Structure 1
Amino acid sequence: MTDLVEHPTAGPPPGVARRFPRGLWRTVATWPIALVLTPVAVGIAANGAVLAGRWWDPVDRWLAPAQSVLGALLLLLVASLAVSVPTAPMIAGAVWGIAPGMLQIVVPEDTYRLISALPGLPTDLDRALHNWLSGGVVLLLGALLFGAGLTAALLRRRLTPT
Protein backbone atom coordinates (compact mmCIF):
# COMPACT_ATOMS: atom_id res chain seq x y z
CA MET A 1 0.00 0.00 0.00
CA THR A 2 2.96 2.28 -0.17
CA ASP A 3 2.86 3.39 -3.77
CA LEU A 4 5.37 5.91 -4.99
CA VAL A 5 3.81 9.23 -5.82
CA GLU A 6 5.45 11.40 -8.42
CA HIS A 7 5.77 15.03 -7.53
CA PRO A 8 5.52 17.63 -10.29
CA THR A 9 8.77 19.24 -9.12
CA ALA A 10 10.74 15.99 -9.37
CA GLY A 11 11.44 16.45 -13.08
CA PRO A 12 9.75 16.50 -16.42
CA PRO A 13 7.01 13.99 -17.10
CA PRO A 14 7.93 10.88 -19.05
CA GLY A 15 8.35 11.48 -22.75
CA VAL A 16 9.24 15.15 -22.34
CA ALA A 17 12.82 16.22 -22.90
CA ARG A 18 14.60 17.85 -20.00
CA ARG A 19 15.14 21.53 -20.59
CA PHE A 20 18.71 22.73 -20.55
CA PRO A 21 19.43 25.14 -17.73
CA ARG A 22 19.58 28.69 -18.90
CA GLY A 23 22.74 30.58 -18.34
CA LEU A 24 24.19 33.83 -19.48
CA TRP A 25 27.63 32.25 -19.88
CA ARG A 26 26.28 29.74 -22.39
CA THR A 27 24.72 32.46 -24.52
CA VAL A 28 27.77 34.71 -24.30
CA ALA A 29 30.05 31.83 -25.32
CA THR A 30 27.83 30.46 -28.09
CA TRP A 31 26.93 33.63 -30.02
CA PRO A 32 30.55 34.51 -30.92
CA ILE A 33 31.22 30.92 -31.94
CA ALA A 34 28.26 30.99 -34.33
CA LEU A 35 29.12 34.47 -35.61
CA VAL A 36 32.74 33.47 -36.34
CA LEU A 37 32.17 29.94 -37.68
CA THR A 38 29.44 30.90 -40.16
CA PRO A 39 31.50 33.19 -42.44
CA VAL A 40 34.49 30.86 -42.13
CA ALA A 41 32.33 27.92 -43.24
CA VAL A 42 30.81 29.88 -46.13
CA GLY A 43 34.25 31.08 -47.23
CA ILE A 44 35.75 27.58 -47.11
CA ALA A 45 32.83 26.07 -49.04
CA ALA A 46 32.84 28.90 -51.61
CA ASN A 47 36.58 28.46 -52.10
CA GLY A 48 35.97 24.75 -52.62
CA ALA A 49 33.44 25.65 -55.30
CA VAL A 50 36.07 27.80 -57.06
CA LEU A 51 38.61 24.99 -56.91
CA ALA A 52 36.07 22.51 -58.30
CA GLY A 53 36.37 24.30 -61.64
CA ARG A 54 40.06 23.36 -61.83
CA TRP A 55 39.52 19.67 -62.52
CA TRP A 56 42.78 19.37 -64.46
CA ASP A 57 44.92 20.09 -61.37
CA PRO A 58 45.27 16.92 -59.24
CA VAL A 59 45.72 18.93 -56.01
CA ASP A 60 42.63 21.06 -56.58
CA ARG A 61 40.63 18.02 -57.67
CA TRP A 62 40.87 16.61 -54.13
CA LEU A 63 41.04 19.89 -52.25
CA ALA A 64 37.71 21.15 -53.64
CA PRO A 65 35.51 18.39 -52.20
CA ALA A 66 37.50 18.43 -48.97
CA GLN A 67 36.78 22.15 -48.55
CA SER A 68 33.13 21.67 -49.42
CA VAL A 69 32.80 18.93 -46.80
CA LEU A 70 34.65 21.01 -44.19
CA GLY A 71 32.41 24.02 -44.87
CA ALA A 72 29.32 21.83 -44.58
CA LEU A 73 30.52 20.32 -41.31
CA LEU A 74 31.18 23.77 -39.85
CA LEU A 75 27.69 24.90 -40.87
CA LEU A 76 26.30 21.74 -39.28
CA LEU A 77 28.16 22.65 -36.10
CA VAL A 78 26.61 26.13 -36.15
CA ALA A 79 23.15 24.66 -36.70
CA SER A 80 23.68 22.17 -33.86
CA LEU A 81 24.38 25.04 -31.47
CA ALA A 82 20.60 25.53 -31.53
CA VAL A 83 20.33 22.63 -29.09
CA SER A 84 21.80 24.72 -26.30
CA VAL A 85 21.18 28.31 -27.48
CA PRO A 86 18.55 28.54 -30.25
CA THR A 87 19.25 32.22 -30.87
CA ALA A 88 22.91 31.61 -31.85
CA PRO A 89 22.25 30.10 -35.31
CA MET A 90 19.32 32.49 -35.75
CA ILE A 91 21.58 35.51 -35.31
CA ALA A 92 24.39 34.00 -37.40
CA GLY A 93 21.92 33.19 -40.16
CA ALA A 94 20.45 36.67 -40.06
CA VAL A 95 23.83 38.46 -39.99
CA TRP A 96 25.75 36.31 -42.49
CA GLY A 97 22.95 35.05 -44.73
CA ILE A 98 19.67 36.91 -44.67
CA ALA A 99 21.07 40.46 -44.38
CA PRO A 100 23.62 40.04 -47.22
CA GLY A 101 20.97 38.27 -49.32
CA MET A 102 18.56 41.16 -48.84
CA LEU A 103 21.36 43.62 -49.61
CA GLN A 104 21.99 41.75 -52.86
CA ILE A 105 18.32 42.02 -53.75
CA VAL A 106 18.09 45.74 -52.93
CA VAL A 107 21.43 47.01 -54.31
CA PRO A 108 22.96 44.27 -56.47
CA GLU A 109 25.39 46.65 -58.15
CA ASP A 110 27.26 47.39 -54.90
CA THR A 111 27.75 43.92 -53.46
CA TYR A 112 30.85 42.94 -55.45
CA ARG A 113 32.52 46.22 -54.52
CA LEU A 114 31.74 45.58 -50.84
CA ILE A 115 33.06 42.01 -50.98
CA SER A 116 36.22 42.97 -52.83
CA ALA A 117 36.88 45.70 -50.23
CA LEU A 118 37.33 43.04 -47.53
CA PRO A 119 41.04 42.86 -46.68
CA GLY A 120 42.98 39.67 -47.25
CA LEU A 121 40.59 37.90 -49.61
CA PRO A 122 42.03 36.55 -52.86
CA THR A 123 40.31 37.60 -56.08
CA ASP A 124 39.06 34.06 -56.74
CA LEU A 125 37.36 33.98 -53.35
CA ASP A 126 35.84 37.43 -53.95
CA ARG A 127 34.28 36.13 -57.15
CA ALA A 128 33.11 32.91 -55.51
CA LEU A 129 31.46 34.75 -52.63
CA HIS A 130 29.80 37.16 -55.04
CA ASN A 131 28.55 34.26 -57.17
CA TRP A 132 27.11 32.59 -54.09
CA LEU A 133 25.56 35.86 -52.97
CA SER A 134 24.07 36.76 -56.35
CA GLY A 135 22.91 33.17 -56.89
CA GLY A 136 21.00 33.09 -53.60
CA VAL A 137 23.17 30.48 -51.88
CA VAL A 138 24.09 32.80 -49.02
CA LEU A 139 20.43 33.76 -48.49
CA LEU A 140 19.49 30.09 -48.51
CA LEU A 141 22.15 29.20 -45.92
CA GLY A 142 21.04 32.09 -43.72
CA ALA A 143 17.41 31.02 -43.92
CA LEU A 144 18.34 27.44 -43.06
CA LEU A 145 20.39 28.50 -40.03
CA PHE A 146 17.64 30.84 -38.89
CA GLY A 147 15.09 28.06 -39.36
CA ALA A 148 17.18 25.58 -37.36
CA GLY A 149 17.34 28.00 -34.44
CA LEU A 150 13.64 28.87 -34.69
CA THR A 151 12.67 25.21 -34.80
CA ALA A 152 14.80 24.43 -31.75
CA ALA A 153 13.27 27.35 -29.86
CA LEU A 154 9.72 26.30 -30.72
CA LEU A 155 10.35 22.67 -29.84
CA ARG A 156 11.94 23.69 -26.56
CA ARG A 157 8.93 25.84 -25.70
CA ARG A 158 6.45 23.11 -26.67
CA LEU A 159 8.27 20.40 -24.74
CA THR A 160 8.71 22.43 -21.59
CA PRO A 161 6.17 21.52 -18.93
CA THR A 162 4.12 24.48 -17.79
Structure 2
Amino acid sequence: MAKFVDLPSEVIYHDSIISNELRTMAKEAFVIFDRNNEDKLNVRELEIALRAFGIDATDDDVVSIVNEYDPNGRGFVTCEQFTMAVANMLAKFKEGCQNLRSLLAAADSDDTGQVGREHVRKVLTEFDKTLNSEEIDEMLDEIDTAKLGKIDYDEFIAKMVRPFGSD
Protein backbone atom coordinates (compact mmCIF):
# COMPACT_ATOMS: atom_id res chain seq x y z
CA MET A 1 0.00 0.00 0.00
CA ALA A 2 1.31 3.41 -0.92
CA LYS A 3 2.15 6.06 1.61
CA PHE A 4 -0.31 8.95 1.78
CA VAL A 5 0.48 12.61 1.23
CA ASP A 6 0.92 14.66 4.40
CA LEU A 7 -0.69 18.09 4.31
CA PRO A 8 1.34 20.98 5.67
CA SER A 9 -0.73 23.97 6.77
CA GLU A 10 -1.59 26.12 9.74
CA VAL A 11 -5.25 26.97 10.27
CA ILE A 12 -6.94 28.46 13.27
CA TYR A 13 -10.63 27.69 13.38
CA HIS A 14 -12.49 30.28 15.41
CA ASP A 15 -15.34 29.18 17.63
CA SER A 16 -17.94 31.26 15.79
CA ILE A 17 -17.21 29.52 12.47
CA ILE A 18 -17.81 25.95 13.62
CA SER A 19 -21.02 24.67 12.05
CA ASN A 20 -23.86 23.32 14.15
CA GLU A 21 -23.52 20.03 12.30
CA LEU A 22 -19.86 19.69 13.28
CA ARG A 23 -20.66 20.69 16.87
CA THR A 24 -23.36 18.00 17.04
CA MET A 25 -21.11 15.35 15.52
CA ALA A 26 -18.25 16.26 17.85
CA LYS A 27 -20.50 16.17 20.91
CA GLU A 28 -21.88 12.77 19.89
CA ALA A 29 -18.37 11.38 19.38
CA PHE A 30 -17.21 12.93 22.62
CA VAL A 31 -20.02 11.27 24.60
CA ILE A 32 -19.38 7.89 22.97
CA PHE A 33 -15.64 7.94 23.67
CA ASP A 34 -15.77 9.51 27.14
CA ARG A 35 -15.75 6.02 28.62
CA ASN A 36 -15.70 7.11 32.25
CA ASN A 37 -18.39 9.78 31.80
CA GLU A 38 -16.02 12.40 33.22
CA ASP A 39 -16.76 15.09 30.59
CA LYS A 40 -13.19 14.80 29.34
CA LEU A 41 -11.16 12.65 26.97
CA ASN A 42 -7.72 11.37 27.89
CA VAL A 43 -5.05 10.84 25.23
CA ARG A 44 -6.20 7.31 24.26
CA GLU A 45 -9.87 8.26 24.16
CA LEU A 46 -8.99 11.31 22.08
CA GLU A 47 -7.10 9.20 19.55
CA ILE A 48 -10.07 6.86 19.12
CA ALA A 49 -12.53 9.75 18.86
CA LEU A 50 -10.39 11.40 16.15
CA ARG A 51 -10.40 8.16 14.17
CA ALA A 52 -14.20 8.26 14.29
CA PHE A 53 -13.90 11.50 12.30
CA GLY A 54 -11.60 9.84 9.79
CA ILE A 55 -8.59 11.63 11.23
CA ASP A 56 -5.76 9.14 11.40
CA ALA A 57 -3.77 11.07 13.99
CA THR A 58 -0.41 9.77 15.09
CA ASP A 59 0.55 9.55 18.75
CA ASP A 60 2.53 12.77 18.28
CA ASP A 61 -0.53 14.49 16.77
CA VAL A 62 -2.66 13.47 19.75
CA VAL A 63 -0.08 14.62 22.28
CA SER A 64 0.23 17.94 20.40
CA ILE A 65 -3.54 18.41 20.56
CA VAL A 66 -3.62 17.74 24.30
CA ASN A 67 -0.69 20.10 24.82
CA GLU A 68 -2.30 22.83 22.70
CA TYR A 69 -5.80 22.57 24.13
CA ASP A 70 -4.81 21.65 27.67
CA PRO A 71 -2.22 24.28 28.59
CA ASN A 72 -2.53 23.37 32.27
CA GLY A 73 -1.12 19.91 31.57
CA ARG A 74 -4.03 17.94 32.99
CA GLY A 75 -3.73 15.31 30.25
CA PHE A 76 -7.23 15.58 28.81
CA VAL A 77 -9.50 17.75 26.66
CA THR A 78 -13.07 18.88 27.26
CA CYS A 79 -15.86 18.58 24.72
CA GLU A 80 -15.39 22.19 23.57
CA GLN A 81 -11.64 21.68 23.25
CA PHE A 82 -12.24 18.46 21.30
CA THR A 83 -14.65 20.27 18.98
CA MET A 84 -12.10 23.04 18.34
CA ALA A 85 -9.34 20.49 17.69
CA VAL A 86 -11.48 18.55 15.22
CA ALA A 87 -12.55 21.75 13.46
CA ASN A 88 -8.93 22.89 13.16
CA MET A 89 -7.75 19.53 11.85
CA LEU A 90 -10.54 19.27 9.29
CA ALA A 91 -9.98 22.87 8.16
CA LYS A 92 -6.26 22.20 7.84
CA PHE A 93 -7.00 19.10 5.78
CA LYS A 94 -9.42 20.96 3.49
CA GLU A 95 -6.99 23.83 2.96
CA GLY A 96 -4.15 21.41 2.25
CA CYS A 97 -6.27 19.57 -0.33
CA GLN A 98 -7.18 22.85 -2.01
CA ASN A 99 -3.52 23.90 -2.11
CA LEU A 100 -2.44 20.55 -3.52
CA ARG A 101 -5.22 20.62 -6.11
CA SER A 102 -4.19 24.12 -7.23
CA LEU A 103 -0.58 23.03 -7.63
CA LEU A 104 -1.57 19.94 -9.60
CA ALA A 105 -4.12 21.81 -11.76
CA ALA A 106 -1.55 24.43 -12.74
CA ALA A 107 -0.30 22.13 -15.51
CA ASP A 108 -3.81 21.32 -16.79
CA SER A 109 -3.90 23.85 -19.63
CA ASP A 110 -6.64 21.89 -21.46
CA ASP A 111 -8.86 21.76 -18.35
CA THR A 112 -9.21 17.98 -18.60
CA GLY A 113 -8.67 17.26 -14.91
CA GLN A 114 -5.54 15.29 -15.77
CA VAL A 115 -1.84 16.05 -15.68
CA GLY A 116 1.32 14.12 -16.51
CA ARG A 117 3.01 11.85 -14.02
CA GLU A 118 6.15 14.00 -14.01
CA HIS A 119 4.20 17.10 -13.02
CA VAL A 120 2.60 15.19 -10.14
CA ARG A 121 6.03 13.88 -9.13
CA LYS A 122 7.46 17.42 -9.13
CA VAL A 123 4.55 18.80 -7.09
CA LEU A 124 4.69 15.98 -4.55
CA THR A 125 8.45 16.33 -4.15
CA GLU A 126 7.98 19.99 -3.20
CA PHE A 127 4.67 19.62 -1.34
CA ASP A 128 5.58 16.71 0.94
CA LYS A 129 9.29 16.44 1.50
CA THR A 130 8.85 13.21 3.48
CA LEU A 131 7.93 11.25 0.34
CA ASN A 132 10.73 9.41 -1.43
CA SER A 133 10.87 8.50 -5.11
CA GLU A 134 9.68 4.92 -4.58
CA GLU A 135 6.68 6.05 -2.53
CA ILE A 136 5.72 8.56 -5.20
CA ASP A 137 6.02 5.88 -7.90
CA GLU A 138 3.80 3.58 -5.86
CA MET A 139 1.17 6.29 -5.45
CA LEU A 140 1.23 7.14 -9.15
CA ASP A 141 0.98 3.48 -10.12
CA GLU A 142 -2.10 3.07 -7.92
CA ILE A 143 -3.84 5.89 -9.77
CA ASP A 144 -2.47 5.35 -13.30
CA THR A 145 -3.57 1.74 -13.58
CA ALA A 146 -3.97 2.00 -17.38
CA LYS A 147 -0.35 3.19 -17.62
CA LEU A 148 -1.31 6.14 -19.84
CA GLY A 149 1.00 8.56 -18.03
CA LYS A 150 -1.88 10.84 -17.03
CA ILE A 151 -3.12 11.37 -13.51
CA ASP A 152 -6.62 12.57 -12.66
CA TYR A 153 -5.70 14.97 -9.88
CA ASP A 154 -9.10 14.91 -8.16
CA GLU A 155 -8.96 11.11 -8.06
CA PHE A 156 -5.39 11.31 -6.80
CA ILE A 157 -6.38 13.60 -3.95
CA ALA A 158 -9.44 11.51 -3.07
CA LYS A 159 -7.43 8.28 -2.90
CA MET A 160 -3.98 9.37 -1.76
CA VAL A 161 -4.51 12.20 0.72
CA ARG A 162 -5.63 11.52 4.28
CA PRO A 163 -6.12 13.81 7.23
CA PHE A 164 -3.00 13.34 9.33
CA GLY A 165 -1.14 10.15 9.91
CA SER A 166 0.34 8.55 6.84
CA ASP A 167 1.70 5.28 8.07
TM-score, normalised via structure 2 length = 0.27
Q: Which has the higher contact order (CA 8 A, sep 6+)?
A: 2
Structure (1 or 2) with the greater helix fraction: 1
Q: What TM-score do the two structures reach when normalised by structure 1?
A: 0.28
Question: Between Structure 1 and Structure 2, whose CA radius of gyration is higher?
Answer: 1
